[in-house]
Each structure stands twice: as C-alpha cells, then as structure tokens.
Structure 1
C-alpha cells in the first residue's frame, strides 16, 4: 500500500507540473486516502503515527497549493500580503507541529521510560 501511495503521489505531482488538471485533481483523493489509511494502521506506534500525520498534512498542503494554481487564486491577496498559495502554510505548519511534539515531548518520554525499564 505504501508503494502504491508513492505512485499516486508522483502522478499527482506530474499532473501539477505538466498542468494536466484532470490527472492532478484526480490523484488527490487516492493519495490522501491511502495516507489516512496508513496513519490509521500505524496509530499504535507513536513515531510512525507522528510521521504519517505529518505526511497527511504535507499532502493536504501540497494538494491545496496545486489547486490554488490550477484555479488561479494562488496570487490573489487574501489578507495583508498573504495570497491564496500562502494558505498552504497552515497544513505545512500543522505537520511540523506534530513532528515537533513527537521529537520534543513524546520521544524523550519514551526514552526515559525505556531507561527506567532497563534498570
């Protein structure tokens, strides 16, 4: 499933790069859907879940950015110099926050628990 996910993701980005709207738009659904399934299947492993959630946010941001370019609102001012394309920073930031939480909060706690368990 992870390998198929990469195929869909690449097809989405090829559609974006070549401005093949039907391909790019169609591939958003399977790419994002498989990412959600993978995250759900790895939900019991904190490290895997964090990284897979970050991937979901990354694909969401990337897809929104592509859509903003396809439909011409990427350069439209939304608020104080922020354009439609810049709104993709919201899911990008959420992905970074998930990883920051994992690396700065969850992982150190896991390491401490492992150290205590080995004593």
Structure 2
C-alpha cells in the first residue's frame, strides 16, 4: 500500500506577534513583529534592539546557538528583558534572559522558554 496523500509543504510565513520590549532602565521599544519559534530552546535578541533599549550585555557568558546545521556563538546574554504582549484590555509581561546576536537590525525571537512562561 502506498501512502500518497502526505505532501511536504515549505512554509512561506513565520509566526509573529506585536509586542513592547523594555529593559530595567524602563526604556520601551514597540516591536511590530516579534518572531515566535516553538522549536527554539532559547530566546534571542539582536544587538541592534539591545542598543535601542540601552540594555546591558554580559559578555563573559557567550553560549553557542545551534541554527539548523550550523552553530553560532552569541555576543553574550542580556538579563531581565521585559516582553509585553497585549490585546485590548488584556496584557501579559514576561521577564526573560535573552542570548544576544551580533546584528545591527532590531529583531527578537521568542523561543520555547518564553512560550512556556506565557502559558
């Protein structure tokens, strides 16, 4: 018996969410499309967004990040980054540590630990 009803579909979109990102310095940056990755075992933020927040980066810890078949060393860790998502009167703010990637464009990826805490 041949199974011929399963077809591989290449994804053409990514799950995103609008959110506000802030640091302990209380500087807030509106992010129109934070990426959500339920397969990522960490959350990642770009150096560009860290600069906009004025947040600190612990450069003494530089964990590697595995991307597909490659690995990349992070620039460090930024602690207690607040991510707020909201819809009308409902909102949720979650504080997490993020691995920092050396990229000047402002972006953020919310991984499984962030999703687990969000419920």
TM-score, scaled relative to structure 2 = 0.22
Larger helix share, 1 or 2:
1
Higher-RCO chain (CA-CA 8 Å, sequence separation at least 6): 2
TM-score, scaled relative to structure 1 = 0.22
Larger strand share, 1 or 2:
2
Bigger Rg, structure 1 or 2: 1
